[in-house]
Amino acid sequence: MIDREQVLHVARLARLELTEDEVGRMSQELSDVLGHIEKIGELDLEGVPPTTHVVEVSNTLRADTVEPSLPREIVLASAPAVADGGFLVPSPQADAEPQVTPSDGQRPR
């Protein structure tokens, strides 16, 4: 059974403010969840393969077919900046300090 102090501790970690009624309800609900987990832990799952879905799933991917795309002019018309027929984006190193390459050919550390 999850007690009041444990619920308040978790609520504090999650930065939640709970009323006294909510603390009591959360204590019961969390205890119920842990009870269900204990029941699942009692199951003998030896030889049961892990699954990603509860039910069989087939044909989940669409066919990989070539389809026409938008013309480049239309796509670039809404871009904030264009250069050389593509999107112009700032260099991630624009604000970084330049790295000095040592004369011995080794990479900087």
Helix (H, G, I), strand (E, B) or coil at 86: strand
If you classify domain 4-41 with CATH, what class do you get?
Answer: mainly alpha
Element (H, E) at 83: strand 82-83
Per the listing, tokens 């403010």 go with 17
Higher pLDDT pick, 109 / 26: 26
What are the boundaries of each domain within the chain?
4-41
Task: Judge whether residue 25 has pLDDT over 90.
Answer: yes
* CA 101 – CA 50 distance, rounded (Å): 50
| Residue of 25, 7, 29 whose CA lies nearest to 16 | 7
Distance of CA 107 to the CA centre of its chain: 34
7-11, 12-16, 86-90: which range is least confident on average? 86-90
Task: Judge whether residue 78 has pLDDT over 80.
Answer: yes
- DSSP state for residue 108 in the 8-state scheme: P
Considering the entire predicted model, what is its pTM?
0.43
What are the respective helix, strand and coil percentages of the chain, to the nearest 5?
Answer: 35, 5, 60
**What pairs with residue 82 in β-bridges?**
87
